[in-house]
Amino acid sequence: MRLFRTLKLGAKSLLLHPMRSALTVLGIFIGVASVIWLLAIGEGISLQAQKQIEDLGAENIIVRSVEPPDQGAASFRDIPTFGISRQEFRMIQETVPTIARVIPIREMKQKFVYSGNPRIQPIDGRLVGCTPAYAEVTRLTAARGHFLTDREVQAQMSVCVISARLAERFFPSEDPIEKQIYLPDKKEYFNIVGVLKHRNATAAIGGSLASQDFSRDIYIPITTMRLRMGDLEQRRSGGSFSAKKFELTQITAQVANVADVPRTASLVEASLRNGFTNRDRQDIAVVVPYELLEQAKATRIMFMMFMGLIAAISLIVGGIGIMNIMLATVTERTREIGIRRALGGRRSDIVQQFLVETIFLSVIGGLTGIIGGLLCPWTVAASRSLLNRFLPDFYERLPDVARLMQPQIVPLSIPLAFFISVVVGVFFGLYPAIRASQMEPIEALRHE
């Protein structure tokens, strides 16, 4: 019964100054909401980064050809070769026992034209020579038709599979299947056998693997690419001539057991850098998604701790606000404290009364802060929608992480933020309460 009267008195005291109490609650609200928001955004960014790495395949080892600086030739007699060779591809395939399969890939920049509609302008894109396993590794799915088959690769057929975006551009009202794509630079035609579903671009991973945009890709059998286009890429611009020669852009080695990835990656890299080719070569880069994923998970913990620390500062600021208000309240209510002490009130009763008021402020701020924190995913989505509607150009220039990241509420952040808000309220309210209880009744009664 006594506790109930104390609670009632505390609530009534706070309601005497509603604006001051609301501003104090606002400080705790911002602190609690900041904890939930920052941890949710940090978790969303971390999960997006991990997903991009997982899309590369934790069981994969990716070896990319890297063009050395100043690579090129002034004439056909002086064209150096760089990157991964087919001989190295076969060597890795045949000599590394822990590898289940190795997928060869060759990429070229090309102009694409739909021969059936000359009014559509040529589109610059990427021609990818690959095998059927490429679709599985890169998570490509056919929307119509089919992806490349083993028979088409073995027979070196002039067929292709096009991306969803190219299909929309070239065939807005037609069925692309059995139509032809023309490559004006190579004077080659390819029959369309499949159209892919939309695939989001991947972000750059470290400094070795550039981001990949699948929206303007056309896929042909790698055997057909070698037969029709060879290994030489040459460009003429005005009176200048440039050429480069390489056999494979990338090989992706899939390891049967994920636990063997680090050891296998070291073996593959050692074989390529110190094998029968030149030592300390700089024309290849080895990317191991498994190792990157482990690093991303470790970084996530550090990132979450950092974000939580920043949010905790907001709670401390809110706590200082509570102390400020309660000190002012003690000064204003000095005469009331003196009367209560003169009528037999104990020091513990005074401490309890002021602590109840600070806990009231902390609990209300904590509960409203939780509600505000839970609105984080909806608020982010609504903000993106408004930006895309009213400022589309600005929205398109935003980095992928800002456009694609989905905040993920961390369940632990809700009770943690609420608990910290109450502790902060009690901690910063304790000093004003003790100060009030230590007033001498005679001096307090003389206060005007």
Rg (CA), the chain: 33
Predicted pLDDT of residue 185: 85
Read off the pLDDT of residues 289-298 as tens digits, 9 standing for 90 and up. 876 667 767 7
Q: Which residue, of 209, 228, 256, is where some domain finishes?
A: 256
Instruction: Classify residue 415: in a domain, yes or no.
Output: yes
Q: From 246, 223, 91, 206, select the one nearest 151 (Cα to Cα).
A: 223
Read off the pLDDT of residues 276-310 as tens digits, 9 standing for 90 and up. 444 567 788 888 887 666 776 777 777 777 777 77
Examine the domain organization and report whether 442 and 386 are in the same domain. yes
How many domains in the chain? 2
Examine the domain organization and report whether 100 and 190 are in the same domain. yes
**Which residue(s) pair with 209 in the sheet?**
205
Examine the domain organization and report whether 87 and 179 are in the same domain. yes
Examine the domain organization and report whether 66 and 122 are in the same domain. yes
Instruction: Classify residue 266: in a domain, yes or no.
Output: no
In three-state secondary structure terms, 224 is helix
Select the highest-mean-pLDDT range: 207-211, 232-236, 263-267.
263-267
pLDDT band at 166 (very low <50, low <70, confident <90, very high): very high
Read off the pLDDT of residues 72-107 as tens digits, 9 standing for 90 and up. 554 555 677 788 989 999 999 888 888 989 999 999
Examine the domain organization and report whether 390 and 316 are in the same domain. yes
Q: Match 């191991």 to its residue by tokens.
A: 288
Q: For the chain, first and last CA: distance in Å?
A: 32
pLDDT band at 177 (very low <50, low <70, confident <90, very high): very high
Predicted pLDDT of residue 105: 95
What is the percentage of the chain residues whose pLDDT exceeds 70? 82
HEC string for 178-199:
CCEEEECCCCEEEEEEEEECCC
Read off the pLDDT of residues 29-66 as tens digits, 9 standing for 90 and up. 888 888 889 888 888 888 877 777 767 777 888 899 88
Instruction: State the CB neighbour count (10 A cutoff) for residue 368.
Output: 17
120-124, 222-226, 319-323, range with the lowest pLDDT: 319-323
Burial per residue of 420-433, b for 16 or more beta-carbon CB atoms within 10 angstroms, e otherwise: bbbebbbbbbbebb
Whole-number Å distance between alpha carbons of 390 and 383:
11
* Residue of 26 and 224 predicted with greater confidence: 224
Per-residue pLDDT, averaged over 384-407, amounts to 84
Read off the pLDDT of residues 335-392 as tens digits, 9 standing for 90 and up. 776 777 676 777 777 777 777 878 888 888 889 999 999 999 999 999 999 988 888 8
Instruction: Classify residue 281: in a domain, yes or no.
Output: no
In three-state secondary structure terms, 428 is helix
Whole-number Å distance between alpha carbons of 11 and 312:
27
CB 380 within 8 A of CB 24: no
Q: Going by DSSP bridges, is the β-strand pair 250-255/99-114 parallel, antiparallel, or unpaired?
A: antiparallel
Examine the domain organization and report whether 334 and 409 are in the same domain. yes
Examine the domain organization and report whether 180 and 32 are in the same domain. no
Would you call 261 exposed, middle or buried from its count of C-beta atoms within 10 A (0-12, 13-18, 19+)? buried
What phi, psi does 284 have (nearest 5°)?
Answer: -135, 155
pLDDT band at 404 (very low <50, low <70, confident <90, very high): confident
Q: Match 């102009």 to its residue by tokens.
A: 111
Predicted pLDDT of residue 276: 46
Q: Which residue, of 204, 238, 256, is where some domain finishes?
A: 256
Q: From 65, 61, 158, select the one nearest 107 (Cα to Cα).
A: 65
Examine the domain organization and report whether 177 and 249 are in the same domain. yes
* Residue of 324 and 127 predicted with greater confidence: 127
Predicted pLDDT of residue 304: 74
Q: Is the pTM of this model over 0.95?
A: no
Examine the domain organization and report whether 378 and 250 are in the same domain. no
Select the highest-mean-pLDDT range: 107-116, 195-204, 241-250, 399-408.
107-116
Q: Which residue, of 203, 229, 256, is where some domain finishes?
A: 256
Examine the domain organization and report whether 175 and 159 are in the same domain. yes
pLDDT band at 333 (very low <50, low <70, confident <90, very high): low
Examine the domain organization and report whether 243 and 361 are in the same domain. no
Structure tokens at 377: 């995913």
Structure tokens at 407: 């905040």
Examine the domain organization and report whether 83 and 207 are in the same domain. yes
Whole-number Å distance between alpha carbons of 167 and 214:
13
Instruction: State the CB neighbour count (10 A cutoff) for residue 87.
Output: 10
Work out whether the CA dihedral 92, 94, 95, 97 comes out positive or negative.
positive
* Residues of the domain holding 233: 60-256
Predicted pLDDT of residue 277: 47
Helix, strand, coil shares of the chain, percent, nearest 5, are: 55, 20, 25
Per-residue pLDDT, averaged over 140-146, amounts to 93
Instruction: Classify residue 284: in a domain, yes or no.
Output: no
What is the percentage of the chain residues whose pLDDT exceeds 90? 25
Angle between helices 413-437 and 347-374 in degrees, nearest 10: 150
